[in-house]
Structure 1
Amino acid sequence: MTARVCVARIGAPHGLRGEVRLWTFTEDPFAVTRYGPLSTKDGTRQLEVARARPAKDHLVATLTGVTTREEAERLNGIELYIARDTLPGTDEGEFYHADLIGLAAVDAAGKPLGSVAAIHNFGAGDIIEIAPAHGPTLMLPFTDAVVPTVDIAGGRVVIEMPGEIEGDEPDSV
């Protein structure tokens, strides 16, 4: 199966005629209107954004074939995906989060730390999740100081552990 990228998540209904709140994960929020049919995570259903308008921190969208509030309610929480190869290429130093999943994570000395399990954003910035071979995952801020090198061609990211970042001193108790 072709690699897929989550580009949006459907939220609660908006109004009575089947509109939904739509949170997009694209640089241009309206790009989701130009991708054509978007598929659900399991790939069993396709939905297309027919129209969208801006709202405070999301879009209000009309999805093709969704005409009632009840139909819109059943879609709440569904993530929408497209094939990775339909996205535009990236410039030097740019990448899609999906391209990082599975890359090896190493420290500045090249010692393996695990692999990139996910990139999260809980509202205060991106978090990189590193899954070591054994033990709990590491959740670190995805900043230039913590992740100074992303080498997709080389299949790795370099992680500066927070205690190792220059000028970073542990908090005293």
Structure 2
Amino acid sequence: MSTDRILLGRIGAAHGIKGEVRITPFTQYAEDIASYGPLTTDRAGLTIEIAEVRAQKTVLVARLKGIADRNQAERLNGVSLFIDRAALPAPEDEDEYYHADLIGLEARREDGSVIGEVLSLPNYGAGDLIEIRDIQSSDTYLYPFTKAVVPEINLKGGYLTIIVPLDAPVGEEEPD
């Protein structure tokens, strides 16, 4: 399932008194967010263009065109930054995907039985995860987004295959 817009980042708090803002990037290479040109937002009629950007710890500090003081910058806190999907190049490798293309796919076991739907692909610092909403209980489950756990992705077919890890506690050996 594809979407027309791809989320590239989210503006956070103002930084300093000259109108700079902090941005949490969702791009593979953080500073690339500035190279996409004008970005649409989740606020009607608001377009953002990044004039300058620099990395600072886990965020970017950016100067935005048309934003000259802290008060203007503070009003942008929480604004999401998007690019049209059509403006992005196709992935170079057949094993590379835009996360937005995976959201909404059916999650199936190896036998083809449907277990749920892909909700998101979060990364909390230890690698990408895939969040699946169970179709029976509506509970959500996180799995490592690795080739071992997600061996097949079929965008045209609208599904991916999940090999659900064993329920054995970590560190315990299986009996012989």
TM-score tier by shorter-chain length is: 0.7 to 0.9
> Which AA in structure 2 matches 1:155?
G
Cα distance in 2 for partners of 1:53, 1:170 equals 43
Query: Are 1:9 and 2:10 an aligned pair?
Result: yes
Deviations 1:44-96 (A, max 9, x none): 42111111122222221011111111111121222111111111111211110
Distance 2:89 2:30 in 1: 15
Would you say the 8 A contact 2:43–2:79 is kept in 1?
no
Partner of 1:99: 101
Q: Alpha carbons of 1:9 and 1:104: their partners in 2 closer, same or farther (altered >3 Å)?
A: same
**Are residues 17 and 42 of structure 1, via their aligned partners in 2, closer, same or farther at CA, if it must alter by over 3 Å?**
closer
Measure the CA separation in 1 of the matches of 2:126 and 2:100: 20
Aligned to 2:141: 138
Stretches of structure 1 that go unaligned for 5 or more consecutive residues are none
SS at match of 1:108: coil
1:29 aligns with 2:30: yes
State TM-score, norm by structure 2: 0.86
Which whole-Å CA distance do the structure 2 matches of 1:63 and 1:13 have between them? Answer: 11
Q: Which residue of 2 aligns with 1:123?
A: 125
Q: Distance in 2 between the 1:97 and 1:158 partners?
A: 16
Counterparts of 2:136 and 2:85, CA distance in 1:
30
Give how far 1:157 is off: 0.9
Deviation at 1:97, TM superposition (A): 0.3
Name 2:69's counterpart in structure 1: 68
RMSD (Å), alpha carbons: 1.8
Aligned to 2:85: 84
Which amino acid letter does the alignment assign opposite residue 112 of structure 1?
V
- Cα deviation, 1:18-55, whole Å, max 9, x if unaligned, reads 00111211122222222111111355421111111222
Shift of 1:159: 0.5
CA 35–156 in structure 1, closer or farther in 2 if over 3 Å, else same = same
Measure the CA separation in 2 of the matches of 1:33 and 1:27: 13
Match of 2:165 in 1: 162
1:124–1:43 Cα change, 3 Å:
farther
Paired AA for residue 123 in structure 2? N
Bigger Cα displacement from structure 2, 118-127 vs 85-94 = 118-127
SS in structure 2 opposite 1:31?
Answer: helix
Q: What is the letter of the counterpart of residue 111 of structure 2? A: A
State the alpha-carbon separation in 2 of the partners of residues 109 and 142 from structure 1.
Answer: 19
Stretches of structure 2 lacking an aligned partner (at least 5 in a row): none
Aligned partner letter, 1:93: D
How far the C-alpha of 1:7 sits from its partner, in A, is 0.4
Percent of counterpart pairs with the same letter?
45
Offset at residue 105 of structure 1 (A): 0.6
**TM norm structure 1:** 0.87
